[in-house]
Amino acid sequence: MTQQLHQTMGQQYGRRSWAEPWKIKMVEPIRMIGGAQRAAALEEAGYNTFLLPSEDVYIDLLTDSGTSAMSDRQWAGLMLGDESYAGSRNFYHLEEAVRTYYGYTYLIPTHQGRGAEHLISQALIRPGHVIPGNMYFTTTRAHQEMAGGAFVDVIIDAAHDPADPHPFKGNVDLDKLTALIERVGADRIPYVSLAGTVNMAGGQPVSMANVKALRELCDRYGIAVYLDATRMAENAFFIQEREEGYADTPIAAILREFCSYTDGAWMSAKKDNLVNIGGWLAVNDEDVAEQARNMVVVYEGLHTYGGMAGRDMEAVAIGIGESVEDDYMRARIGQVRYLGDLLADWDIPVVRPIGGHAVFLDARRIYEHLPQDRFPAQTLAAQLYLDSGIRSMERGIVSAGRDPETGDHRYPKLELVRLTIPRRVYTQAHMDVVAEAVKAVYDQRAEARGLEMIYEPRQLRFFQARFRPFSG
Ligand SMILES: *Cc1c(COP(=O)(O)O)cnc(C)c1O
């Protein structure tokens, strides 16, 4: 816990400690398999944590995607599923929740976030288009490229420096964006692809001042702004905590204001919205909504379910309301920060400030002796699993993929391992166990030799690539 969060808690409750604003009603047993079994499982998985069976995992920090614990209200909502093919009542609940909390007019449900990315990319991007954004995200960029566009990163430089303490490392660099618009012309830019928080930068937020200024700049050139709202409620927490004038504004109001500066959003409901599956696209422009509705019937399902069951839409609708409760969000981000601060106190290199959904280990600094094409972050994730059955994820050279023009690896500045915290799933004791495991692996860092890739898929290679220990 940082000083600041302590103070926030202290003011509210008049004491130092804080606890989750829920109690546990049902448990799912987990166990750690033995060291020899872990070594065998890792080899079998090609040293890729995505390829491990979850039965062989002890504490699963692979992702916060679809791994949330639903509330009793959400589970009760499942029983209210209206599984009519058309016009399910749960669709209308979801539409109302999105209008209330995000403020957009038209809602098109999808099976998950990438379904919505597909729709918006195909609706707005034409071959030769350029899409500026505050750092790429894997599936977002893949859909933009498949629609014939090219993504250009216009995030501030601080985002690429794991040690820079900037409070809003997700901000768009408006000078970079202006230069890009002047260079390629506004008519080749269908929209700015804005994400809050920025996953690949370490869960770093965008400030309200930045989105306001971005809106003004884009209005001058007639360019739209579309939001990746996947973790926008978490972004709102950071605005409340760090931005002048928002300390007393509820997260719900901050979220709504932020969205008001954008033309629409795509959403992976598997993150902020506290469900195991689901997504949506929401826009204010009727033409864009119509194009998306035309396409959703081809790729997802009818426009009133878009690949989700009625019960799932109900769970999303309820989850949206829960996700913007101030107490919930404080505990959520407080838990991530608790883990991050433990590691930082032991001088283990982590991305600072600690972001919203995960703690990111700086594999480049931990394995200073390994060149990037020996996959330091992939190696670190493998070592962590070997040590204690904890599953994490590479966010470095493997995730960055290859440049479609040259065919070479992209060499991102950030070479990270993500310890992603599922929402409402693990306790503080689990965080202690994770911190101690990271410390054990860190203490043995000099012995790491790296990996070599032996199978490489063409799209989103990090999901299915296979490796073996470096033998050179
Ligand atoms: C997960 C994610 C997506 C894609 O959503 P899925 O539900 O996994 O398809 C898009 N953007 C960001 C920032 C994400 O984290």
Long-range interactions of 4-7: CB distance < 8 A, separation 24+: 4/241, 5/241, 5/330, 5/334, 5/337
- Decide whether any atom of ligand 1 lies within 6 Å of the 68 Cβ: no
Token duo for residue 32: 């750690």
So what's the pLDDT on residue 5? 55
Helix %, strand %, coil % of the chain (to 5) = 45, 15, 40
Common-topology check for domains 3-60+326-469 and 72-323 = no
The 8-class DSSP code of residue 402 comes to B
Token duo for residue 338: 């608790």
Q: How far is the CA of 438 from the centre of ligand 1 (A)?
A: 26
For 36, 123, 174, 390, 417, the CA distances from 218, given in Å and listed in that order, are 56, 19, 10, 44, 34
**Rounded Cα distance, 406 and 230, in Å:** 31
- Decide whether any atom of ligand 1 lies within 6 Å of the 113 Cβ: yes
So what's the pLDDT on residue 459? 86
The 8-class DSSP code of residue 410 comes to P
Query: Looking at ligand 1, which atom is closest to the CA of residue 195?
Result: 13
- Decide whether any atom of ligand 1 lies within 6 Å of the 49 Cβ: no
Token duo for residue 296: 């959703």
- Decide whether any atom of ligand 1 lies within 6 Å of the 134 Cβ: no
Long-range interactions of 99-104: CB distance < 8 A, separation 24+: 101/252, 101/255, 101/256, 101/320, 101/321, 101/324, 102/229, 102/232, 102/255, 102/256, 102/259, 102/265, 102/282, 102/320, 103/256, 103/259, 103/260, 104/259, 104/264, 104/265, 104/282, 104/283, 104/284
Contact indicator for 204, 355 with CB cutoff of 8 Å: yes
Q: How far is the CA of 139 from the centre of ligand 1 (A)?
A: 7
So what's the pLDDT on residue 17? 79
- Decide whether any atom of ligand 1 lies within 6 Å of the 199 Cβ: yes
CATH architecture of the domain with range 72-323: 3-Layer(aba) Sandwich (3.40)
**Rounded Cα distance, 124 and 143, in Å:** 11
Most distant pair of Cα atoms in the chain: their distance: 62
- Give me the active site residues, please: 85, 137-138, 228, 271, 395, 462
Ligand 1: which of 271, 273, 280 to mutate, most ligand atoms within 8 Å of CB? 271
Ligand 1: which of 50, 114, 266 to mutate, most ligand atoms within 8 Å of CB? 114
- Decide whether any atom of ligand 1 lies within 6 Å of the 139 Cβ: yes
Angle between helices 138-146 and 113-124 (to 10 degrees): 30
So what's the pLDDT on residue 1? 43
- 0.75 surpassed by pTM: yes
Name the class of domain 3-60+326-469: alpha beta
Decide: helix, strand or coil at residue 412. Answer: coil
Cα–Cα nearest to 246, from 205, 204, 207, 202: 207
H helices of 167-281, in order, are 174-184, 208-221, 232-242, 251-260
10 Å CB burial of residue 276 (0-12, 13-18, 19+) is middle
**Rounded Cα distance, 10 and 18, in Å:** 9
Q: How far is the CA of 440 from the centre of ligand 1 (A)?
A: 31
- Decide whether any atom of ligand 1 lies within 6 Å of the 279 Cβ: yes
Residue 383's H or E segment, with its range, is helix 376-388
- Decide whether any atom of ligand 1 lies within 6 Å of the 137 Cβ: yes
Q: How far is the CA of 279 from the centre of ligand 1 (A)?
A: 9
Decide: helix, strand or coil at residue 281. Answer: strand
**Rounded Cα distance, 190 and 41, in Å:** 46
So what's the pLDDT on residue 10? 47
For residue 327, the tally of other CB atoms under 10 A from its CB is 13
Q: How far is the CA of 201 from the centre of ligand 1 (A)?
A: 14
For 366, 372, 384, the CA distances from 369, given in Å and listed in that order, are 9, 10, 18
pLDDT tens, position by position, 201-258: 889 999 999 999 999 999 999 999 999 999 999 999 999 999 999 999 999 999 999 9
So what's the pLDDT on residue 142? 94
Q: How far is the CA of 238 from the centre of ligand 1 (A)?
A: 20
Using 70 as the pLDDT threshold, list the residues of the chain that sit under it: 1-15
Ligand 1: which of 67, 230, 421 to mutate, most ligand atoms within 8 Å of CB? 230
Q: How far is the CA of 356 from the centre of ligand 1 (A)?
A: 15
Kindly list the domain boundaries of the chain, sorted by start residue: 3-60+326-469, 72-323
> Taking CA 204 as the corner, what is the angle to CA 343 and CA 456, rounded to the nearest 5 degrees?
85
- CA-closest residue to ligand 1 atom 6: 113
Q: How far is the CA of 297 from the centre of ligand 1 (A)?
A: 21
The 8-class DSSP code of residue 172 comes to B
**Rounded Cα distance, 395 and 201, in Å:** 9
Query: Looking at ligand 1, which atom is closest to the CA of residue 269?
Result: 7
Ligand 1: which of 112, 231, 268, 423 to mutate, most ligand atoms within 8 Å of CB? 268
